[in-house]
Structures are given as C-alpha cells and as structure tokens.
Structure 1
Amino acid sequence: MLWSAAYVLSGWALETASPAVVSISRFAIALIVLIPLAIRRPRFVRTLREPRTILLGLTGVTLYYSFANIGLLFTTPGTAALTAAFLPVLTAGAAVALIHERLTGRTWVGLSLATLGVALVAASGFRVDVGVLLNIVALASYALYTVLLRKDAGRTGSPDALVLATATGVWGTLIMLPWLAWEALTGAIEAPGDARGLVSILVLALVVTAPTLVLFNYGAERLPAAVSGVATAAIPALGYGFALLLGEAFDPVKAIGGAIALTGVVIATLAAPDVEPSPPGSALPEPAELATGQITVPRDHERGNRA
C-alpha cells in the first residue's frame, strides 16, 4: 500500500530535483531513522561486512531505484506504476530458475489472476516508451533481490529484518554516490526547487522508504519468493485507488482489474505456510543456561513451536 504511493511522490520530486538527488536523499533520510534502531540490535556491523548484503544493496536499492527514477523522466508516474504489473511474473520466473522454487496450485491461480487484473488496469492507459523499458530493468533487479532474500532466509546467524534492511540500505546508498558525483560534475545536479518537491522527498523517505524496506524484507524471508512477487500486484491496483482519491475519473475496467488483481494476491497468500518460521537459533540454549550448565529441555509442544 505504501509502495503504490511512491510513483506519484517521486514524480512530484523529479519536477525540480535530479534523479540522483531524489534517490540518494530519500534513502539517506530514511537511514537517519533506521540506523539508530538497527545499531542497537545484534550483528549489525557483521551484516554490513557480508558480501551478500552488498549484493542486496546493489539489486534492491541501487539498480532498482536508479533505473526507476531515471525512467520517470521519460514516462508518467501512472504508466510507471502500471509497469509494476511485470514484477510478479519476473519474480516467479526468477524463483523457479534460480532457487528451483516449486509453485503451488494456489500460487499459480493467484499469479494468473494478478497478471490478468493488472493487465486490465493497464489496458486503458499503458504505453511502451523508454521510461517503461527502464522500469522493467528496475523491476528485474528487484525480482532478483526478492529471490536472494528468500534464498538465504533462515541460515544460521541470519540478522533480523531491521538489521538486514538497514545494512542493505546503507550499501545501496553508498553505491549510488558516484552517480551523484557524476551529476555534480556534469552540471545536472538539482535540489528540490519548491515546497512540494521537498515534502515529497521527506514523505518518500519517512513514510514510504523506511517502513517498506523493513516490512518487505521481513515478509520476503518468510514467504516463497513467488508469493512475495504476487503480493506486489497490489501496487498498480491500489495505485489506481489513490488516483481516484486524487480526482481521476472512475474507469470500470480499471476497477474490475484492480479487484481481480487483489483477489489473486489474497489467493496466493493463502498458499503460504500457516506457521511462521522461528527466528534462527531460537532452539539454542540461552547464554545464561550455558554458563550454569542448567539447560532446560523444551516440552513437546515447545519443540513443535520452535520447529
């Protein structure tokens, strides 16, 4: 829901600010909030040093947001939002190809309905241009990011979602800095020139970027990658709902398409496990128990919950 509002806000910010400024400032401001929270939790510094975190930052932050924001210079925010229709299919394809994920029947049904729904939403206003192609590259990068999150989920010593999301954001922002330097050297750098642009960046950072970075990481590590991809079909559907609230004329085809897409999201989500995986290491003895040698053996139902 938060992500679906990002296209309009980014479009407003890019009216006066350059793409690198918008991309980096939204993450830099978000990290001002996230880092003080993450640094208090275990394994933050170690997570920053891991090559996997750098790869996640490159795919899920640098490449995705760079191509998406540049794409908005060549297409409208509405068209860019509709392009998100490709993300469920790209994610499912990457999940099958890279981690050999097997799609359940419900996931196939949900994916089909989600694709049909967003196709209907897009039917009235979608057009292919350079901006759309750049956004597809961005979406392919994010599909890879989603699969990478799922691939290593639950490994021993895995950080929690807040730590991993923050560390990913740090690396993604750092890797974007040469882009900002290039804008400065070529004279293309532009700061927000009006109140709407400045407020848009602040809202993007604090209301959209910071929460979605953590929430998506948390969900993507606990759901099949294809299901996470199908969930993103809600972006164009909910984006159309926001457009109606902002005064866009009602289109019954888009409304029906949005409803079908959301139905697909619900069906695919129902295919997910009913029990959330336990955090890594939850079945290990507490440090105090190890120190005293008094290790408590969990009862049967506790073993089941930890499993």
Structure 2
Amino acid sequence: MSRASKQALHESPKSGAENLRPPYKEAWIAGALVFALYWLTLSPTTAFWDTSEYIATGHMLGIPHPPGNPLFVVLARAWSVLFTFFGLSVATSINLFSAFMSAAAHAMWFLVAHHILRYFSSDKLFRLVGAAAAVLVSSTSFTVWSQSNVNEKVYTVSLFTIALLSWLAVRWQENLGKGKDDNLLILMVFILALSVGNHLMAFLVAPAIGIFILVVHPQTLLNWRLYLVGAAVAIVGLSIHLFLPLRAGLQPVINEAAPACPDISSALSAVVTYGKAGCAALAEALNRTQYEKPPLLPRSAPLVSQVANYLQ
C-alpha cells in the first residue's frame, strides 16, 4: 500500500461536523427500498435445494444438516413467532426473514460505501448517490437477489454479519483515541464468534479486518488485554452451539446428525474446541464428518479449473 493510501486511512476526510455524521436515515431508507423489492419478488412458498429443510427447522426449532446452524434456527423461529399474527404461511414468513436480513445488510453497505466516498469527495450528494448505486448493484446481483427471495440457505444472515462487521470496523477507525475503540473490537469478536453458529462464511471478513487494523493502527494488535477479553467473549459467542445438544435431547421431528451429548461438560468442550474434542456426536456435526471432505492438498482438480468455475 502506498504512503498516500496509508495517510488517507489515518486522516479524517476534509469536511465539517455535518458531513462526518453517518447518514443513518438515508441508509435505512435504502434498506427499506431493498426490502420492498425483495418482498415484491418474494417466493410465496418453498423452492429447490435446502429451502424446505431450513424453513421447517426454523419454524419448529429443529436441527438441519451439519453443522446445524443454531443461530439461524433461533433467529428464524423468533421471526416466525413475531409474524404469526400477520396470517402468513410459514414459508412466506421465513422467506421474508431472508429478505429482511439481506435488506438490513444493504443498509450497512450503504453506510460503508458512503464512508469510503468521503475520502474522494466532500460533496454530500455525490456520496449519497454513490452509496445508493453500490446498494443497487449489490442487492440486484443474481446470487444475492435469488438468496433473498427465498430462504434457500443461511447466507443472508452471513451477509448481514459481514456488512455489520465492516461498518463496525469503520466506526472503530472513527473512534480511535476516544475510549470506545477497544469496546468496538470486542463487540466485533463476539459477533464474529456468534456468526459461526450461522455459517463459517462470516469469517471471510476476518482477514480483511485484521489487515485494516494493521494498516490503520497496528499498536492495537500489541494490546494483550484485548486478546484475553476477546477470547472470553468468543467463547460466549460460540456458546450458541449448545442449542444443538440441548434441542437434540428433546428429539425434534427434524434432528439431523442427532448431536445429543451425555453431559454439559463434554458439550462445552466440543463447542470451545469447535469439534476437536468433547462430545463425539456434537463434534462430528460441527466438523461435518458425514461429508468426508477431502483435504486441501493434494488438489483434486487443477487450479485453473477452479478459477474457471468461479468465473463461470
């Protein structure tokens, strides 16, 4: 990274107090418009692939295929209960949950894009239009739109997590030296650990955040207290996985992998080590043992084929 780029990250944009204030109102308007778009194009019922499984487990607090996605199940169930009085079908209600999470993610992306554009222009209208354009392109891209119209997977929750963590990273930068920066980092660690209970996809943002911290304020990484507190809150976040053995013990109708544990200590051990020790059934679910995934090396196909498949 060039010296000018590093300096830009450290310096505040040249603008007054009004321009420094995040445009929360405009962001939520953008999110509401995205939600309206998804609602208008929403699937009225279930669809192919894992849709029915996740809709059903979200409604009944069941356990889907490994790793069980406990955070998604709990959130989807809460959403389903809250929307009961609207008279919507279960499928429509949980499809709306997927749409809402994606729309909320795009409200976060609006804020992030607006913040980045502050380094390029002091014109407020330019930044708002640029952020709106970014949200429009992202929300209507094929994969995002299709995942937001029907709850085929758990990816819109991960999308929201990534967007939220990105915005918190921006707020951390803005609050450096104000006594709030460490708190934001701890919150980010908690959200990242909690999001593992939805899907490991959220960890895609972790390296980017690490590099961002290294560039903006590398001294932060030398604060050993952050590591101690971070480890503690990470364990709290990972504890969402205790839902799996607790619920499995009650024998729900959908109880894939049946990750029941004989006692709480073995369950905790499996959760803290993420399947490297402790309760065997829970460890196998967290590790996706049933899929027998091959190791990274040796490669099963040429790298060129993998890149070509990605581009496709």
Higher relative contact order (CA 8 A, sep 6+): 1
Q: TM-score if structure 1 supplies the norm length? A: 0.30
Q: TM-score if structure 2 supplies the norm length? A: 0.29
